[in-house]
C-alpha cells in the first residue's frame, strides 16, 4: 500500500513540475519579450506605440480570463476588454470572485491565470493555419529545431525567420495581415504579475486533483503515458516555441523599424 501511495505521489509531483515548468517558463520568456518590445515602442513613439497592438491583443487577453472564469464557475464582477490607462499602464481587466471552499473553483484559479497563454497560443495557431501563406514549410522548420545547444537553436530560429520573410510572403497582403495580427496577440499573451499570483492560488488544489486522478487511473489500470507524451511534446512544445518565435520576430522587426525614430528623438 505504501509503495502504491509513493508511486502515485511521485507521478503527481512529476506531472505538477511539468505543468508548472511549461507555463512558468513560457510566462517568463514571453513576459521578457513583451517587456523588451514595449520598451522599443515607449522609447520611440511613446504610449501610442503600445496601443498599436493592444487594441486587439488586450481583448484577447481579457476574454481568455473571462472564459476560464466562467468555465470554473467564478462570479464575474466586471469586464473591461480594452480600457487603457496611461498613468497605471493598465490596458484592461476582469474582476471575478469565487468560493474559497469550492475545490473546483480553486483549481480554476490556476487556469484563469494561465488563460491568456492558452487562448493566445490557440489564436496564433488559427492565424498560422488559416492566414499565413506557405505555413507547412514554416511548420516543418519549427518541428526540426534542435535544442541540444544554443547555437543550433538560434540557427533553427533564424531559418524560420528567413522562411517567414520569403519573397513570396513579402509580396502577399495575407502575410502582412498575418504578421500584424500575430504581433498583436503575441505581445499581450504573457501573464501579468497578478495573473501569476492567481495561478499560485490554485496550485495546492491542482495537486490534490492530480493525486486523486492518478489513484483512479492507476486503480483502473489505464495507461495514459503514450497520450500524455504525444500531447506534451507535439502540441504544447509547438505552441510554446511558435508563440516565442512570433514574439521574437516582433521584437526584431520593432527594433529595426523604430531605431531611426529613436535616433531622431534624441
Query: Could you tell me the pLDDT band of residue 257, with boundaries at 50, 70 and 90?
Result: confident
Q: Which residues pair with 95 in a beta bridge?
A: 78
Residue 222, pLDDT > 80, answer no
3-state secondary structure 219-253: HCCCCCHHHHHHHHHHHHHHHHHHHHHHHHHHHHH
Instruction: Report the mean per-residue pLDDT for the chain.
Output: 81
Residue 66, pLDDT > 80, answer yes
pLDDT confidence of residue 86: 84
Residue 120's Cβ-side half-sphere holds a number of Cα atoms within 13 Å equal to 34
Residue 70, pLDDT > 90, answer yes
Q: What mean pLDDT do residues 238-262 have?
A: 79
Residue 59, pLDDT > 90, answer yes
Q: Which residues pair with 97 in a beta bridge?
A: 75
Q: What mean pLDDT do residues 123-149 have?
A: 79
Instruction: List the grid coordinates of 195.
Output: 495573473
Query: Quick count: other Cβ atoms within 10 Å of Cβ 178?
Result: 22
Contacts of range 161-169, beta carbons closer than 8 Å, 24 or more positions apart: 161/245, 161/249, 161/252, 163/134, 163/137, 163/138, 164/138, 164/249, 166/134, 168/133, 168/134, 169/133, 169/134
Q: From CA 187, how far away is CA 251, in angstroms rounded?
A: 9
Instruction: List the grid coordinates of 58.
Output: 488586450
pLDDT confidence of residue 230: 46
Higher pLDDT, 155 or 56: 56
pLDDT confidence of residue 266: 65
Is residue 34 within 8 A of residue 188, CB to CB? The reply is yes
DSSP states of 39-85: HHHHHHTTHHHHHHHHHHHHHHHHHHHHHHHHHTTPEEEEEESS---
Give the closest residue to 162 by CA, choosing from 130, 138, 182, 179: 138
Query: Could you tell me the pLDDT band of residue 185, with boundaries at 50, 70 and 90?
Result: very high
Name the one residue in this structure whose C-alpha cell is 507535439.
234
Q: What mean pLDDT do residues 104-113 have?
A: 90
Residue 39, pLDDT > 80, answer yes
pLDDT confidence of residue 62: 95
Q: What mean pLDDT do residues 102-111 have?
A: 90
Q: Among 47-61, 180-194, 250-264, whose mean pLDDT is lowest?
A: 250-264
pLDDT 10s digits, 167-177: 888 999 999 99
Q: What are the residues whose beta carbons fall under 8 Å from the beta carbon of 246, sequence distance 6 or more?
A: 124, 182, 183, 185, 186
Identify the helix (H) or strand (E) that includes residue 96: strand 93-97
Q: Among 55-64, 126-135, 216-225, whose mean pLDDT is lowest?
A: 216-225
Residues in the chain: 266
Is residue 54 within 8 A of residue 84, CB to CB? The reply is yes
Radius of gyration of the chain (CA): 20
pTM across the whole model: 0.80
Q: What mean pLDDT do residues 28-56 have?
A: 84
Amino acid at each position: 500500500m505504501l509503495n502504491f501511495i509513493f508511486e502515485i505521489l511521485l507521478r503527481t509531483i512529476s506531472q505538477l513540475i511539468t505543468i508548472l515548468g511549461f507555463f512558468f517558463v513560457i510566462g517568463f520568456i514571453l513576459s521578457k519579450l513583451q517587456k523588451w518590445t514595449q520598451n522599443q515602442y515607449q522609447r520611440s513613439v511613446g504610449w501610442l506605440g503600445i496601443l498599436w497592438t493592444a487594441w486587439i491583443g488586450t481583448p484577447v487577453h481579457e476574454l481568455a480570463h473571462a472564459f476560464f472564469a466562467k468555465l470554473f464557475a467564478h462570479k464575474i464582477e466586471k469586464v473591461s476588454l480594452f480600457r487603457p490607462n496611461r498613468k497605471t499602464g493598465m490596458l484592461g481587466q476582469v474582476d471575478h470572485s469565487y468560493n474559497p471552499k469550492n475545490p473546483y473553483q480553486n483549481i480554476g484559479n490556476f487556469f484563469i491565470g494561465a488563460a491568456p497563454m492558452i487562448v493566445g497560443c490557440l489564436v496564433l495557431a488559427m492565424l498560422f493555419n488559416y492566414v499565413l501563406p506557405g505555413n507547412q514549410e514554416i511548420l516543418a522548420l519549427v518541428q526540426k529545431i534542435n535544442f541540444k545547444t544554443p547555437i543550433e537553436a538560434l540557427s533553427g530560429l533564424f531559418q524560420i525567420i528567413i522562411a517567414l520573410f520569403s519573397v513570396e510572403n513579402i509580396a502577399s497582403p495575407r502575410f502582412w495581415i498575418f504578421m500584424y495580427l500575430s504581433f498583436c496577440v503575441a505581445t499581450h499573451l504573457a501573464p501579468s504579475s497578478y495573473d501569476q499570483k492567481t495561478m499560485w492560488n490554485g496550485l495546492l488544489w491542482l495537486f490534490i486533483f492530480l493525486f486523486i486522478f492518478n489513484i483512479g487511473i492507476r486503480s483502473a489500470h489505464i495507461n495514459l503515458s503514450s497520450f500524455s507524451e504525444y500531447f506534451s511534446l507535439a502540441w504544447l512544445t509547438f505552441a510554446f516555441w511558435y508563440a516565442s518565435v512570433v514574439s521574437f520576430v516582433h521584437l526584431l522587426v520593432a527594433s529595426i523599424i523604430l531605431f531611426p525614430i529613436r535616433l531622431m528623438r534624441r
